[in-house]
């Protein structure tokens, strides 16, 4: 290699060695008699010291050119290097006079003695002094459009355009190093548990179920398209039919959906499937995976993950992905507050609240903010009722007009509230009110500092409903996907109360984020057909789209189930970030564009012709 050591490698034990380093100029300091250069690479930073005295003295310390000439030489030297230049430096490791304890190489520096005979080379970039002590510019750099430092001055757009420079910054590089580590430990765990990684195809078939597909026109099959997989779902089930028994794949998936900060058109999944298992086996195996990852990557031993039914999660947190880093569980007040003359509560399907412990000192202004918060259109509550528990135990509420001190004392008891607590109550339709109170609970959790990103609380949410009714299309949708099996004991509800059927489906939730989910699958053709009918597929549609899978079920399909983890999301949780983009090397923006390479982009007419397609807004030539 061009170097003998990396910039993160040299220690006090190396003093006296002749070394060659390569890297980027992170900083140049001209301190008169000495020039210091911080040389950076992926592995660290090493200080380079250029002794300016040597610009006019020879090896025997004899002055051989004038101070003025030496100054010119120094100026020429400084003019030839700059921030982010790529250098190759040959010098001697010396002990620093003042140690820098912030970096592992802080005990040493590399001393380069440039003598008056040092010359710029032909390319104008190299300053050499014999074979072993020199500074050579391997490549110069224009001034970067933003600071390549841990804290940068670059805005999002600029950093996206020059992503290759943003990736040079330590925090961004560390995110990808973390990702690599999580990936490696995932494979170590799964390989150790006899899983086989099998690659499934990227060019597959478009199906109308689920999100929108990205499609690929086929040149060899005119009028036909491949689709990019939203997940390898059917393939992994076929692998179970094949007897692969334990499959995994860390795999790119694709969804052509409208984008948000935490969504990307292409994302990575840890995709797994197992045969001859119960739900319990899957929860056990993958709780083990996440424990392994926390242990190996974060050094944290997570406790056993509690299980919560979907019904309880909705009742206690108003969400199927509760943030359980803090309590503040919902308390339903219907039995307590009705028929006291307060029409809002009397008319409400559900009256439900939370106890924001210690927030009784919230000012009028803060309470107004919370009221405004819950009344936002995307949250949609009509108002907020609050009640403070005073130091003397009395309760002061915004609805004192309707409720006696004794009534309010009952509220406090229902919330298990102490002096200093603040009760926040919403009322209205059940689903909407729970959803709104979930938002308020998360907001209060953030305000009260209960959502520390270095604290991790994981749980399983189980017993999801099999179906959800979609008002828009007037039919049932599969809550997980159409291959999820119903709980056998709920099958009798299939005709009369299909929405009450529970599925053998489960999600893993960490800190209020769904990091993974899966189900025990259907492995019986007749049940699968029944499921498709329930979802409004005609027999022909079901057969055209999933005939191959249903046929496979007739050739000895074992009972099987699986799970998939959102890998980008998992990495962002490990890294303590809300944005998955920070953990993707080359993410796309909210319009699905890669602004660095400027994709997507128009293609040539020849390409369109070969693919048998044309753009919709191009009118067909007349008479041709």
**Sites for a copy of itself among residues 253-272 (CB under 8 A):** 254, 256, 258-259, 265-266, 268
Q: What's the min distance (Å) between Cβ of 239 and a copy of itself? A: 7
Residue 41: how many other CB atoms lie within 10 Å: 19
Of 22-30, 64-72, 316-324, 425-433, which segment contacts a copy of itself by CB under 8 A?
22-30
Q: What's the min distance (Å) between Cβ of 29 and a copy of itself? A: 19
* Lookup: tokens for 253: 């998936």
Q: What's the min distance (Å) between Cβ of 607 and a copy of itself? A: 7
378 binds a copy of itself (CB under 8 A): no
Of 243-251, 392-400, 421-429, 498-506, which segment contacts a copy of itself by CB under 8 A?
243-251
Give 26 or 360: the residue with its C-beta nearer to a copy of itself.
26
Instruction: Give the C-alpha separation, 141 to 126, whole Å.
Output: 14
456 contacts 302 by C-beta, under 8 angstroms: yes
Determine the size of the site formed for a copy of itself (CB under 8 A): 127
Give 8 or 420: the residue with its C-beta nearer to a copy of itself.
8
47 contacts 83 by C-beta, under 8 angstroms: no
200 binds a copy of itself (CB under 8 A): yes
Of 309-317, 367-375, 401-409, 550-558, which segment contacts a copy of itself by CB under 8 A?
550-558
Residue for token pair 């309707």: 402
> Considering only residues 103-162, where is the footprint of a copy of itself by CB under 8 A?
138-142, 144, 162
Ligand-binding annotation for 533, yes or no, is no
Instruction: Give the C-alpha separation, 469 to 481, whole Å.
Output: 14
Pairing of strands 307-309, 266-275: unpaired
Ligand-binding annotation for 443, yes or no, is no
Ligand-binding annotation for 530, yes or no, is no
Instruction: Give the C-alpha separation, 510 to 252, whole Å.
Output: 22
Residue 518: how many other CB atoms lie within 10 Å: 26
Instruction: Give the C-alpha separation, 315 to 479, whole Å.
Output: 18
Give 321 or 523: the residue with its C-beta nearer to a copy of itself.
523
> Considering only residues 164-183, where is the footprint of a copy of itself by CB under 8 A?
164-165, 167-168, 173, 176-177, 179-180, 183
592 binds a copy of itself (CB under 8 A): yes
Q: In the beta sheet, which residues pair with residue 134? A: 90
Question: By rule CB under 8 A, what string of x and - marks binding of each residue 78-97 to a copy of itself?
Answer: ------xxx-----------
Ligand-binding annotation for 514, yes or no, is yes
Instruction: Give the C-alpha separation, 15 to 347, whole Å.
Output: 81
Instruction: Give the C-alpha separation, 257 to 359, whole Å.
Output: 40
Among 28, 120, 204, 493, binds a copy of itself (CB under 8 A): 204
54 contacts 115 by C-beta, under 8 angstroms: yes
Give 239 or 417: the residue with its C-beta nearer to a copy of itself.
239
Among 339, 363, 473, 604, binds a copy of itself (CB under 8 A): 604
What is the DSSP secondary structure assignment for residue 52, as one 8-state letter? G
* Lookup: tokens for 416: 């298990």
Q: What's the min distance (Å) between Cβ of 278 and a copy of itself? A: 7
Instruction: Give the C-alpha separation, 490 to 498, whole Å.
Output: 9
What element of type H or E holds 273? strand 266-275
**Residue 383's closest CA among 330, 427, 343, 442?**
427
> Considering only residues 486-525, where is the footprint of a copy of itself by CB under 8 A?
523-524
- List the binding residues for L-aspartate: 209, 255, 480, 521
Q: Which residues are annotated as a binding site for ATP?
A: 255-257, 264, 514, 566-569
């Amino acid at each position: 290699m061009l170097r003998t050591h990396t910039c993160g490698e040299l220690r006090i034990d190396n003093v006296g060695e002749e070394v060659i380093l390569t890297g980027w100029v992170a900083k140049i300091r001209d301190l008169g008699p000495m020039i210091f250069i911080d040389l950076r690479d992926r592995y660290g930073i090493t200080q380079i010291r250029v002794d300016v005295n040597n610009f006019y003295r020879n090896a025997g310390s004899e002055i051989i050119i004038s101070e003025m000439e030496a100054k010119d030489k120094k100026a020429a030297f400084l003019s030839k290097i700059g921030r982010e230049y790529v250098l190759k430096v040959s010098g001697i490791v010396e002990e620093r006079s003042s140690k820098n304890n912030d970096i592992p190489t802080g005990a040493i520096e590399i001393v380069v003695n440039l003598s008056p005979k040092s010359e710029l080379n032909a390319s104008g970039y190299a300053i050499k002094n014999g074979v072993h002590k020199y500074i050579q510019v391997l490549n110069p750099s224009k001034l970067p459009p933003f600071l390549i430092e841990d804290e940068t001055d670059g805005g999002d757009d600029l950093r996206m355009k020059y992503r290759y420079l943003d990736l040079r910054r330590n925090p961004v590089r560390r995110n990808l190093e973390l990702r690599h580590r999580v990936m490696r430990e995932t494979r170590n765990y799964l390989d150790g548990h006899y899983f086989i990684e099998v690659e499934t195809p990227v060019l597959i078939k478009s199906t109308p179920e689920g999100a929108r597909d990205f499609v690929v026109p086929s040149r060899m099959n005119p009028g036909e398209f491949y689709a990019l997989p939203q997940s390898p779902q059917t393939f992994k089930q076929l692998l179970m039919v094949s007897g692969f028994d334990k499959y995994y794949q860390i795999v790119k998936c694709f969804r052509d959906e409208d984008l948000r900060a935490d969504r990307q058109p292409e994302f990575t999944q840890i995709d797994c499937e197992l045969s001859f298992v119960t739900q319990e086996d899957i929860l056990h195996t993958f709780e083990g995976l996440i424990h392994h990852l926390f242990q190996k990557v974060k050094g944290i031993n997570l406790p056993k993950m509690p299980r919560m039914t979907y019904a309880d999660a909705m009742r206690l947190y108003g969400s199927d992905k509760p943030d359980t880093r803090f309590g503040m569980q919902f308390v339903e007040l219907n039995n307590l507050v009705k028929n006291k003359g307060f029409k809002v509560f009397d008319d409400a399907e559900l009256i439900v609240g939370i106890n924001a412990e210690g927030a009784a000192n919230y000012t009028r202004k803060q309470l107004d903010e919370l009221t405004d918060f819950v009344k936002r259109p995307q949250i949609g509550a009509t108002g907020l009722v609050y009640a403070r528990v005073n130091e003397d135990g009395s309760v002061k509420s915004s609805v004192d007009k309707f409720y006696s001190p004794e009534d309010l004392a009952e509220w406090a008891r229902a919330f298990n509230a102490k002096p200093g607590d603040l009760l926040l109550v919403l009322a209205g339709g059940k689903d909407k009110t729970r959803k709104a109170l979930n938002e308020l609970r998360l907001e209060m959790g953030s305000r009260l500092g209960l959502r520390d990103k270095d604290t991790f609380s994981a749980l399983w949410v189980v017993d999801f409903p099999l179906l959800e009714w979609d008002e828009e299309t007037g039919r049932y949708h599969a809550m997980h996907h159409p291959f999820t099996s119903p709980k056998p004991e709920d099958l009798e509800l299939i005709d009369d109360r299909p929405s009450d059927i529970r599925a053998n489906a489960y999600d893993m939730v960490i800190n209020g984020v769904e990091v993974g989910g899966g189900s025990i699958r259907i492995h019986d053709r007749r049940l699968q057909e029944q499921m498709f009918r329930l979802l409004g597929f005609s027999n022909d549609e079901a057969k055209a789209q999933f005939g191959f899978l249903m046929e496979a079920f007739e050739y000895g399909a074992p009972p099987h189930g699986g799970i998939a983890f959102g890998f980008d999301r998992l990495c962002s949780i490990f890294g303590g970030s809300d944005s998955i983009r920070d953990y993707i090397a080359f993410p796309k923006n909210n319009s699905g564009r890669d602004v660095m390479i400027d994709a997507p982009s128009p293609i040539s007419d020849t390409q369109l012709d070969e693919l048998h397609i044309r753009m919709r807004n191009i009118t067909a030539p007349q008479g041709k």
